Amino acid sequence: MMNFDVVVVGAGPAGSLAAREFAKQGYRVGLFDGKCENTLSHAVIVETESRIFEELGIPSPSGDEIPYHAKKVKVFSARYRHAYSTTAELPICSVYLDRFAKKVCVLAQAEGAQFFPQHQVNEPIVRGDTVRGVVFRDGEREVEVFGRLIIDATGFRAAIAGRLPRRLGVHHDGDSRHVVVAGNAYHRIDRNNAQCAIESGTQGDEEIWNSLGPFGAYSTEFSHLSLARERAYVLIGAKADHPGPSVDELLERLKKRLGYFGEQIHGATGPIRIRHAIDQPVANGFMAIGEAGGMINPMLASGVATGLRTAKLAAAVGVAALAKGEPTIHSLWPFAWRYQRGRGATFASLSAIRMAVETFTPEQHNTFIEEFTHPLDLVAVNAGLPISVSPRSFPKRFRAFSRHPEFRRPLLRMAKASVPVYLHYRRYPKRYQAAKMASWCSTASRLFGRIR
């Protein structure tokens, strides 16, 4: 048996940052993960908000830590018609997720957090209505670990949050309609074939080419090529309930079509939640952060920046709660309130837009991408901001309406789906009261339920 002030489960970037923040305040922190330190997180490349590093006091990636940096982004519809291009600097940075996770884990340990690798979650320890600890499996033995505060940072698995009794109010939706499977691969290239691809217009040098919707409304085909680095990157994302070939098969088809891929040096495939955050990410003695709490950008299926921000917020709220005594749902509630009324409201509205777009026919979806989307949408989504009709985007959208007046109804339906959701999340209860929370959850369920 082990005892800590704070038990953080999951040593990805969010979990390790949370552990670092609590340890910096002098708390005894146990950081647990099912993998060893050299294989933390997933061997994938992700794009995260570039400003996050300075905000959180994490050394910014540089040199070989950055797998690619695009000079241009070209967006296409599912039928590979060009929608728009942008050479504007996007507010993102590509990183190797596994290497980044290891870096933040080392920072946590430097502040005094104790790291326990190869500890698999068996079950949470719940006494009454309070989460008290976690039972882990370490090899052949079971280990009970207790803490005043338990934090679930296990990502998609939600290994603690997904196993709590329903009476605690922390509910996870396992609907496959809100799960995407993403696979990516980073390769050395055949330089001659890559040069031919550029000359024939199959791919641009130092450019991201992104086709939206080729395998269903919520899907993507993404590629980047660098002759200078002699590297190529591809990503396929498709809904978990997509009826076609697997993501791995689609990746191989894309690489064969492009024709310049050599040895693979990095990559993996796995599921990601794209649903809005769980309604209640806290309970007595418990917090769920990052993807374990559904806190992820539903448009990008990306959660690193949000996970890091929720880790910082959770630590600030958790430290204050620990100073008052045993953390309760009431003292931890500011975490839920501040997240849901801020980034949670934005992502919930984006989730509503995503669900509305999925009701489009394939022809409507292609027209929407080609005619109505704008580079500023890409910038906003990558920065975790709401999509809006800015003066700069109005001329293109006005011309699109002139050519496609039939889109008035589906776009109005999209607005009717996203705006009420955003406003509802902005009214998230400031203090925990069971009756008020039940009413809020019921309304949220009704708002999302009427989109389909």
| Structural contact between residues 178 and 448, judged by C-beta atoms closer than 8 angstroms | no
- Model pLDDT, residue 401: 83
Q: What pTM was estimated for this model as a whole? A: 0.93
Q: What are the residue ranges spanned by the domains of the chain?
A: 2-48+97-173+275-340, 63-90+177-273, 346-449
pLDDT digit string, tens, across residues 123-143: 999 999 999 999 999 888 999
Cα distances (angstroms) measured from residue 115 to each of 28, 33, 105: 11, 8, 8
Measured between alpha carbons, how far is 424 from 419 in angstroms, rounded to an integer?
Answer: 9
Residue linked to tokens 């509205």? 349
Residue 146 has a CB neighbour count (10 Å cut-off) of 17
Render each residue's pLDDT in the chain as its tens digit; 452 residues: 899 999 999 999 999 999 999 999 999 999 999 888 777 778 888 888 888 898 888 888 888 888 988 889 999 999 999 999 987 667 788 999 889 999 999 999 999 999 999 999 999 999 999 999 999 998 889 999 999 999 999 999 999 999 999 999 998 877 778 999 999 999 999 999 999 999 999 999 999 999 999 999 899 999 999 999 999 999 999 999 888 899 999 999 999 999 999 999 999 999 999 989 999 999 999 999 999 999 999 988 888 999 999 999 999 999 999 999 999 999 999 999 999 999 999 999 999 999 999 999 999 999 999 998 888 888 778 777 777 767 777 788 889 888 999 988 888 888 888 999 999 999 999 999 999 999 999 999 999 988 87
pLDDT of residue 73: 92
**What string of H, E and C letters represents the secondary structure of 354-421?**
HHHHCCCCHHHHHHHHHHHCCHHHHHHHHCCCCCCCCCCCHHHHHHHHHHCHHHHHHHHHHHHHHHHH
Q: Distance (Å, rounded) from C-alpha 421 to C-alpha 449?
A: 11
Contact of 342 with 288, CB cutoff 8 Å: no
From the candidate CATH numbers 3.40.50.720, 3.30.470.20, 1.20.1050.10, 3.50.50.60, the one assigned to the domain spanning 2-48+97-173+275-340: 3.50.50.60
Under CATH, which number does the domain 63-90+177-273 receive? 3.30.9.90
